[in-house]
Amino acid sequence: MLNGQKIAVVLPAYNAARTLLRTVDEIPAEIVDDIVLTDDASSDETVCLARKLGLFTLCHRGNRGYGANQKTCYTAALSRGADIVVMLHPDYQYSPRLLTAMAAMIAFGEFDAVLGSRILGKGALRGGMPVYKYASNRILTFAQNLLIGEKLSEYHTGYRAWSRQVLGRLPLLACSDDFVFDNQMLAQCIHFGFGVGELSCPARYFPEASSINLRRSIAYGIGVLRTSVEFRLRHWRLARPRIFEDDREMRLETNVPQLAQLLVA
């Protein structure tokens, strides 16, 4: 807990058994009140290990995608009383030790959302980020800053902290169930007027860390640009994309009754 606010960490997991223990071991227990892991139908021992570690563990009945996994994570964290929710990949690519700093930026009222940026500083390439990934990250971020009107160092990190107000306000159920969910969620956050901060975060690239293949990377890039164009058209009042509509039926609170149907014990 920080400044009287309950801190939850959510771990959207898929075949994370090889890295889960290292990730959980570095989560600062002195400030984290709850850890929620949602398993997206892994074929390894992720669920068994998560339960041995004492994590609150949910399991999708079938593989539903990275975005759907996060929707379940956030719904569960909010239903368990979290005031600040930090999304951390359980593949040990990002440092859990930065959780305290990220949560504090929200807990003390500086920002509504915080991104752990691999680009601030010089940690990305030193940590082993492939040059083509670094280059595509910079190109996409440049285009998005122009279209969205922000000055973020990157839009593509998988290390993010959110206030309860953000998670309760955004129409997240309108977002994709796939990898572009992250980008849509961040664009929504900006669209609805929430403040976004960044913290420099070194990242590790190694064989066990999760990654997506070239085909899905290209699809993600196209989805990212589409999201940014839709953002700009919405602000020019030339289009009304569903993800930027203030639709209460698309908020996570409406996901609670359906949550049990997606899970197995």
Give the domains, in start order, of the chain with CATH numbers.
7-251 (3.90.550.10)
Q: 123 pLDDT band (50/70/90 cuts)?
A: low
Say yes or no to pLDDT of 47 above 90.
Answer: yes
Say yes or no to pLDDT of 210 above 60.
Answer: no
Say yes or no to pLDDT of 180 above 80.
Answer: yes
Q: 91 pLDDT band (50/70/90 cuts)?
A: very high
Percent of the chain with pLDDT over 90: 79
The CA distances from residue 77 to 9, 85, 142, 253, in Å, are 8, 7, 33, 11
Say yes or no to pLDDT of 264 above 80.
Answer: no
**Measured between alpha carbons, how far is 237 from 173 in angstroms, rounded to an integer?**
22
Say yes or no to pLDDT of 208 above 70.
Answer: no
Q: What is the pLDDT of residue 265?
A: 45
Rounded mean pLDDT, 29-55: 96
Rounded mean pLDDT, 30-38: 97
